[in-house]
Amino acid sequence: MFEVVIGLEVHAQLNTKTKIFCSCPTSFGDEPNTNVCSVCLGLPGALPVLNAEAVKKAIAFGRAINACVHEKSIFNRKNYFYPDLPKGYQISQFEIPIVEGGEIILDFEDGSTKRIGVTRAHLEEDAGKNVHQGTFSQVDLNRAGTPLLEIVSEPDMRSGDEAVRYLKKLHAILRYLDISDANMQEGSFRCDVNISIRPKGDTKLYTRAEIKNINSFRFVQKAIEYEITRQTNAWEDGVYAQEVVQETRLYDVEKNETRSMRSKEDSAEYRYFPDPDLLPVVIAKEMLEEASIIPELPDAKKARFVSEFGIKNYDASVITSSVEMAHFFESMLDAGADAKMSVTWLSVELLARLKDGLSIATSPVDAQKLAMLVMRISDGTISGKAAKEVLDHLMQDAISVDNAIEKLGLKQVSDDGAILEIIDAIINANSNKVTEYKAGKEKLFGFFVGQTMKESKGTANPAKVNELLKQRLG
């Protein structure tokens, strides 16, 4: 039996308006090579100037994960040659990162938690992008110089599931802090997976393979599963030393496999040295205090929801898994909706209907409208079953909740006279069943309830139906 050892390196683009060492914009999707200058292009004599906003965002992240924020850090040159790196080196941090230590807490459905250590988080500049077209490649340097926060975990994860949970929690923290849009499709949240295996009970770290630049949670899980199988088979076949070497691999989405790209460099091969064009970063007390004021984060918000509204731990985890959903839920409560019902209608009913590229942020049913739907269930205007039909309609039609209820004819009938009229007709038509019920066959009560709801086309108030049937049947 083997144990999996996983560590993750995440590159999160910081959402500053300009790049980390120049004033070029960081906007995504512009024409290639339009957001560049002499600094981005690495032209002789061009000097970098540090963006203070990037430093503030890094400090906020450090505070959020209970890390040490170094009041003095330095930038280094990381030397390597690649077409999308015009200077021939990347400005990064090596010996003294701005953030060191810290932790991410994982939540599980059974209520248990696991601490994943964070080794460091350092600032650096992003490289450009190679665009491959047929037999040739082009280089777009719009992304070159975009500020990155590289977040390096300890090798504390033991499965693909734990790795994905870690990434989702980290993603949520970045979004709550509003320091990165963390859009995986646009490449602003990229993950490198370092993975090795070892016999159960062994504490030694064996040769790891690094899988580069995976841009979806699902592909991270699939890449890890494939790599576990590859390394396990190599060990069992006696070819581990030949097959599992320190290298960089890529994950092929189409073939669902990892394959070798190049040998993995050691830090010495990058020939790190302090960048002579940049002074050490010394954080002023005022900046440190300002950047340390952070919003309520997922774990704190989850604990508050549980204690304040009495919702279940797991439900609170789901609601706080993204800042958009947490704010949506809070807006529903502000509008007057019941907390426990809001959890169900948001996390189960609305989420199930958000397909075809829709998300909480782009939902055609906003928090106020969903809150009104929940309140119409609470006040007896419609039943829970009818509310699902109303929600389906609201996803397609931008009318109010009350207008949708009227339009669909789903307003719940609570008038005793109208319901008794239906009940009496059913009792008269089923006198033999009434006799059986009164003789002790109590299960038939459900038959009368069902018939009444059917005749009312689901509009009769179920509580009233039960109450009046008990009176009529004695």
90 DSSP β-pair partners: 78
> How many angstroms separate the CA atoms of 229 and 368, rounded?
48
> How many angstroms separate the CA atoms of 259 and 227, rounded?
10
Instruction: Please give the structure tokens belonging to residue 115.
Output: 């601490």
Please tell me whether residues 402 and 429 are part of one structural domain. no
Over 70: is that where the pLDDT of 178 sits? Answer: yes
Question: What is the rounded end-to-end Cα distance, in angstroms, of the chain?
Answer: 67
Can you give the pLDDT at residue 286?
Answer: 96
The residue among 408, 431, 448 that closes a domain is: 408
> How many angstroms separate the CA atoms of 456 and 32, rounded?
63
> How many angstroms separate the CA atoms of 139 and 147, rounded?
19
Residue 443 is given by DSSP the state G
> How many angstroms separate the CA atoms of 170 and 10, rounded?
9
Please tell me whether residues 139 and 218 are part of one structural domain. yes
| Burial class of 139 by CB neighbour count within 10 A (0 to 12, 13 to 18, 19+) | middle
Question: What backbone torsions phi and psi does residue 5 show, to the nearest 5 degrees?
Answer: -120, 120
Output the CA–CA distances (angstroms, integers) from residue 224 to 12, 113, 246, 248, 433, in the order listed.
Answer: 21, 22, 16, 14, 62
Beta carbons within 10 angstroms of residue 400's beta carbon: 12
* 234 or 264, higher pLDDT: 234
Please tell me whether residues 276 and 313 are part of one structural domain. no
Please tell me whether residues 178 and 249 are part of one structural domain. yes
Place of tokens 């009938």: 413
Please tell me whether residues 423 and 313 are part of one structural domain. no
Can you give the pLDDT at residue 418?
Answer: 75
What pTM was computed for the model?
0.87
Please tell me whether residues 155 and 175 are part of one structural domain. yes
Domain carrying residue 308: 298-408
Instruction: Please give the structure tokens belonging to residue 449.
Output: 């309830």
The residue among 245, 274, 291 that closes a domain is: 291
Please tell me whether residues 70 and 219 are part of one structural domain. yes
> How many angstroms separate the CA atoms of 42 and 48, rounded?
10
Please tell me whether residues 391 and 432 are part of one structural domain. no
37 falls in which pLDDT band (50, 70, 90)?
A: very high
Can you give the pLDDT at residue 74?
Answer: 96
Helix or strand holding residue 259 (H, E):
strand 257-263
Over 70: is that where the pLDDT of 47 sits? Answer: yes
| Burial class of 305 by CB neighbour count within 10 A (0 to 12, 13 to 18, 19+) | buried
The residue among 384, 408, 432 that closes a domain is: 408
Can you give the pLDDT at residue 333?
Answer: 97
> How many angstroms separate the CA atoms of 153 and 10, rounded?
9
Over 90: is that where the pLDDT of 472 sits? Answer: no
Over 70: is that where the pLDDT of 438 sits? Answer: yes
> How many angstroms separate the CA atoms of 236 and 438, rounded?
71
Sheet containing strand 89-92, edge to edge, reads: 89-92, 76-79, 273-274
Encode pLDDT of 111-155 as tens digits. 889 999 999 999 999 999 988 888 889 999 999 999 999 999 999
How many domains, in total, are found in the chain? 3
Can you give the pLDDT at residue 277?
Answer: 96
> How many angstroms separate the CA atoms of 38 and 111, rounded?
53
Encode pLDDT of 62-91 as tens digits. 999 999 999 999 999 999 888 899 999 999
117 DSSP β-pair partners: 103
- In sign, the C-alpha dihedral spanning 312, 318, 320, 326 is negative
Instruction: Please give the structure tokens belonging to residue 372.
Output: 């009104």
Please tell me whether residues 252 and 123 are part of one structural domain. yes
pLDDT mean over 271-275? 94
> How many angstroms separate the CA atoms of 210 and 155, rounded?
12
Please tell me whether residues 270 and 356 are part of one structural domain. no
Place of tokens 């683009």: 13
Please tell me whether residues 423 and 388 are part of one structural domain. no
Over 90: is that where the pLDDT of 470 sits? Answer: no
Instruction: Dump the DSSP string for 168-207.
Output: HHHHHHHHHHTS----TTTTSEEEEEEEEEEETT------
HSE-CB for 296 with a 13 A CA cutoff: 12
CB 264 within 8 A of CB 247: yes
HSE-CB for 228 with a 13 A CA cutoff: 17
Please tell me whether residues 263 and 379 are part of one structural domain. no
Over 90: is that where the pLDDT of 388 sits? Answer: yes
The CATH number of whichever domain residue 425 belongs to comes to 1.10.10.410
